[in-house]
């Protein structure tokens, strides 16, 4: 596995670990942020693996997903609003959905 792929998977594991710890400590906003970042990194990993490119931002990531992996796009796209809501709003029940939806390596 090349350096970029390895780095992405390591980052994924770090964010999942942070998310689980924050969730256990009932710190739901940081947990939501870390869960979403883990999901985004996993998307980037698959995009990189299939296309050899890394998205530069959320917009580019969503475009790649929408054009190439519609089902993934439809699952992940709604989570972006939950993620951005966690910047300003107190998050509670939504984190459980993201936690149950994440994939571990």
Query: Could you tell me where the beta strands, DSSP code E, fall in 1-105?
Result: none
Helices 3-24 and 94-101 pack at an angle, to 10 degrees, of 140
Give residue for tokens 């519609």: 70
The fraction of the chain above a pLDDT of 90, given in percent, is 70
Judged against a pLDDT cut of 50, whether residue 68 lies above it is answered with yes
Q: What is the pLDDT of residue 93?
A: 58
Say what the pLDDT of residue 98 is. Answer: 52
Map out the domains of the chain with their CATH numbers: 3-101 (1.20.120)
Average pLDDT over residues 92-102: 53
């Amino acid at each position: 596995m090349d350096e970029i792929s390895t780095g992405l998977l390591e980052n994924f594991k770090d964010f999942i670990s942070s998310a689980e710890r924050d969730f256990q400590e009932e710190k739901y906003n940081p947990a939501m942020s870390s869960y979403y970042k883990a999901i985004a990194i996993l998307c980037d990993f698959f995009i990189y693996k299939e296309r050899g490119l890394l998205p530069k931002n959320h917009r580019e990531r969503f475009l790649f997903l929408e054009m190439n992996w519609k089902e993934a796009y439809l699952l992940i796209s709604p989570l972006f609003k939950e993620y951005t809501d966690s910047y300003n709003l107190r998050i509670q029940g939504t984190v459980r959905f993201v936690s149950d939806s994440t994939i571990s390596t």
